[in-house]
Amino acid sequence: MQIQAYLFLEGRCDEAIAFYAQVLDAKLEMRMQYDESPGAEQAGMIPPGSEKKVMHASMRVGDAVLMLSDGFCKGPPNFEGFALSLDFSDQAEAQRRFDALAEDGTIKMPLSPTFFSPAFGMVADKFGVTWMLIVSPPT
């Protein structure tokens, strides 16, 4: 069994796909627009005016799959009560990814040493998704 994150970006999915491809080296595996989904119109699944928006996409980020959608395009997304965690073995790589995610976002905790890691930080990206970046301690 696996748990996979599914982000509803309320109309900014294509922008997020491009951003995560750039800053996380995420690879797009699948992308389907609402108007490409078989039977979606009959089932009332297409939000009005969203025919060309992303109904479902999946991206590979390292060994994980991140799923995304434009959702119902009802306004700004609301990402509260969770964070996505990225684990690194290299501090320079963690800093590079942290800085990229922080661009036009909000640093919640700078990437810095803690009692449990040589470097840990939290940042909300420009979509409002909170990311925790941690460097694994040496073994």
* Residues 31-55 pLDDT 10s: 999 889 887 666 667 777 888 999 9
- pLDDT tens, position by position, for the chain (139 residues)? 989 999 999 999 999 999 999 999 999 999 999 889 887 666 667 777 888 999 999 999 999 999 999 998 888 899 999 999 999 999 999 999 999 999 999 999 999 999 999 999 999 999 999 999 999 987 7
Residues in Cβ contact with 22 at an 8 Å cutoff, skipping those fewer than 6 apart: 100
For the full predicted model, state whether its pTM sits above 0.85.
yes
pLDDT on residue 39: 74
- The pLDDT score that the predictor gives to residue 122 is 98
What's the confidence (pLDDT) of residue 41?
A: 65
Give whole-number Cα distances, 68 to 1, 77, 96, 123, 136, in Å: 20, 12, 24, 19, 27
Determine how β-strand 64-69 pairs with β-strand 54-61. Answer: antiparallel
pLDDT number for residue 43: 65
- In order, the DSSP letters of 75-124 are SS----S--EEEEES-HHHHHHHHHHHHTTSEEEEEEE--SS-SEEEEEE
pLDDT at 107: 98
pLDDT score of 1 = 93
